[in-house]
Amino acid sequence: MSRLAVVGAGSMGAQIAQQAALRGMDVKLHDQTDEQLRKAVESNRGHLNRRVEKGRLTARDAEAAAARVHTTTDLAEAVDRADLVIEAVFEDLGVKREIFAELDRLAPAAAVLASNSSTMAISKIADATRRPHACVNMHFFFPVLVMDLVEVVRGPETSDETVDRAMAMARAMGRTPVLINKEIDGFIVNRILHAATQEAYRLLDAGVARFEDIDTAVEKGLNWPMGPFRLGDFSGLDITYRARLHMFETTGDERYRPSPQLEAKVRAGKMGRKTGEGWYRYPKTDN
Ligand SMILES: NC(=O)c1ccc[n+]([C@@H]2O[C@H](COP(=O)([O-])OP(=O)(O)OC[C@H]3O[C@@H](n4cnc5c(N)ncnc54)[C@H](O)[C@@H]3O)[C@@H](O)[C@H]2O)c1
């Protein structure tokens, strides 16, 4: 199985396609406009060129990998011969359901339809198709060209064969898949990250340690590349805050209540790197 189509050429889709092409696959990459496809190709070119400059890829292999990504604004042309389609469009349930209904109509009857959604379980999308058994989550991590993991999450109707094909595709792309047998908010990685981050905020709010020392403890003691506060600054404290607020409001569980100190940062407009200050300060040249 090697014919892959990727729908949505944003931050994730562009690199998912490029990663597969680096592993020798011919990939169709679809988005709504030529402009978006051009940006995706340009961004991938930049990544490939940097690898060539660092001596990690030959210019010839970079050229071949770039040429194996075939772009099109025509969805039918993108998927009509695909064995597996990965959807990576906006995180909007309505849009994803529309796309899956279209994919069901346009892709071969035997094709697997996968969603890269971080938060939407496949069962919320699969019933827009006549093949829920062939639908699955394949959750890649940003940046896909660097991050090795793919969480494959099966829905209640996903068949064993679909799971096997998704796992095999992830491996063929040079990525390490893990299988999640139950649909669960946050899958594995974001759940564990969330739990660790909440604990870090609890320690901070209780005055147990300064945020710098909690980061240092996690970085040096657990060997995580970034402690929770540094990582929050990197991804945006507004995003960290909203994720917690969402969990708290939907579950009513006190464990998820956002930290008052996190809330204060967000109210003060200190969102992290993107605003020049969060837990740490980022001089302009550093942004
Ligand atoms: N960014 C991340 O860190 C990350 C990590 C893991 C998973 N995800 C998931 O990946 C998906 C995409 O995220 P992203 O960050 O790449 O978003 P993005 O906004 O960068 O890209 C989305 C792309 O989808 C395209 N699109 C929208 N509607 C479309 C349609 N009807 N047909 C074709 N293309 C359409 C847009 O033009 C855009 O290029 C989301 O489901 C998100 O949850 C994101």
Among the candidates 136, 152, 180, a domain finishes at 180
**Checking DSSP bridges between strand 135-140 and strand 149-153, what pairing results, if any?**
antiparallel
Asked if residue 24 has its Cβ within 6 Å of ligand 1, the reply is no
How many whole angstroms from 87 Cα to the centroid of ligand 1? 8
Asked if residue 103 has its Cβ within 6 Å of ligand 1, the reply is no
Q: Which two tokens stand for residue 252?
A: 């009513």
Measuring CA to CA, how many Å separate 257 from each of 63, 155, 212, 254?
49, 29, 22, 5
Q: Has this prediction a pTM greater than 0.85?
A: yes
pLDDT, tens digit, 9 for 90 and up, residues 260-273: 999 999 999 999 99
CATH code: domain of residue 150: 3.40.50.720
| Same domain as 196, residue 129 | no
Asked if residue 116 has its Cβ within 6 Å of ligand 1, the reply is yes
| Same domain as 261, residue 149 | no
Number of domains in the chain: 2
Asked if residue 5 has its Cβ within 6 Å of ligand 1, the reply is no
| Same domain as 114, residue 194 | no
How many whole angstroms from 11 Cα to the centroid of ligand 1? 7
Please, where are the H alpha helices in the chain?
Answer: 11-22, 34-53, 59-67, 75-79, 93-106, 123-126, 160-172, 189-205, 211-221, 228-235, 237-251, 260-267
Its sign, for the CA torsion 241, 242, 246, 249, is positive
Mean pLDDT of 104-129: 96
How many whole angstroms from 7 Cα to the centroid of ligand 1? 9
Q: Which two tokens stand for residue 19?
A: 């990663």
Q: Is 219 within a domain?
A: yes
- Domain span holding position 76: 4-180
Substitution site in 73, 90, 150 for ligand 1 pocket (most atoms within 8 Å of beta carbon): 90
Q: Which two tokens stand for residue 137?
A: 């989550």
How many whole angstroms from 116 Cα to the centroid of ligand 1? 8
Asked if residue 8 has its Cβ within 6 Å of ligand 1, the reply is yes
Catalytic, 139? Answer yes
3-state SS, residue 227: coil
Tokens 């396609």 correspond to what residue?
A: 17
- pLDDT score for 287: 45
pLDDT classification of 285: cutoffs 50, 70, 90: low
Q: Is 283 within a domain?
A: no
3-state SS, residue 135: strand
pLDDT, tens digit, 9 for 90 and up, residues 153-180: 999 999 999 999 999 999 999 999 999 9
Nearest alpha carbon, ligand 1 atom 41: 117
| Same domain as 199, residue 148 | no
How many whole angstroms from 12 Cα to the centroid of ligand 1? 6
Mean pLDDT of 240-264: 90
Average per-residue pLDDT in the chain?
Answer: 95
Percent of the chain with pLDDT over 70: 99
Among the candidates 130, 145, 180, a domain finishes at 180
Mean pLDDT of 127-134: 98
Among the candidates 180, 197, 223, a domain finishes at 180
